């Protein structure tokens, strides 16, 4: 079976919160504070019901490896992803971005990622997938037409 994206559901909420609150994830996030369970569940349920939000879990056979969110604004999808602690630096970031291009076909014509300057691993993942890179201060924007 190998690597694939499957739709996320309510049963994935706790692992996504755990990954989100990991110290390395927070270090590279735009929002650095820990998120409490109640706040996360309210946000997560709203995302699950949002027709302009796509939520996925990166699977390696039966193992959960990461989380991908694509928020749609008109014909642009904004990518946000997390790779599970202990699974980083194995190429999964490159793969989750590659797979994101295959699962979003509902009128989205471009994908965009925003990454902090200090998050070189994520920046490499976007560059590996041939995203155009633009910098504005300490924020890097990655754009690809699909």
Sheet architecture: strand order including 3-7: 3-7, 53-60, 63-73, 76-83, 110-116, 139-145, 132-136
What torsion do the CA atoms of 102, 106, 56, 132 make, to the nearest 10 degrees?
Answer: 60
pLDDT in the model for residue 22:
79
Tens digit of each residue's pLDDT (9 = 90 or more) over 105-144: 778 999 999 999 989 999 999 999 999 999 999 999 999 9
Tens digit of each residue's pLDDT (9 = 90 or more) over 51-72: 999 999 999 999 999 999 999 9
Contact 117, 138 (CB under 8 A): yes
Tens digit of each residue's pLDDT (9 = 90 or more) over 25-56: 777 777 778 889 999 999 999 999 999 999 99
CA angle, residues 39, 29, 11, in degrees to nearest 5: 45
Q: How many CA atoms lie within 13 A of 96 on its CB side?
A: 31
Please state, in angstroms and rounded to a whole number, the distance separating the CA atoms of residues 113 and 135: 12
What is this structure's pTM?
Answer: 0.92
């Amino acid at each position: 079976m190998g690597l694939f994206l499957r739709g996320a559901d309510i049963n994935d909420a706790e692992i996504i919160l755990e990954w989100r609150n990991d110290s390395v994830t927070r270090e590279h996030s735009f929002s650095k504070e820990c998120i409490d369970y109640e706040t996360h569940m309210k946000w997560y349920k709203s995302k699950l019901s949002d027709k302009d939000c796509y939520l996925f879990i990166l699977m390696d056979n039966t193992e959960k490896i990461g989380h991908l969110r694509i928020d749609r604004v008109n014909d642009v999808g904004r990518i946000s992803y997390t790779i599970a602690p202990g699974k980083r630096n194995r190429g999964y970031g490159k793969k989750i971005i590659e797979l994101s291009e295959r699962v979003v076909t509902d009128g989205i014509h471009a994908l965009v990622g925003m990454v902090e300057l200090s998050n070189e691993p994520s920046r490499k993942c976007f560059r590996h997938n041939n995203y155009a890179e633009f910098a504005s201060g300490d924020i890097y924007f990655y754009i690809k037409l699909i």
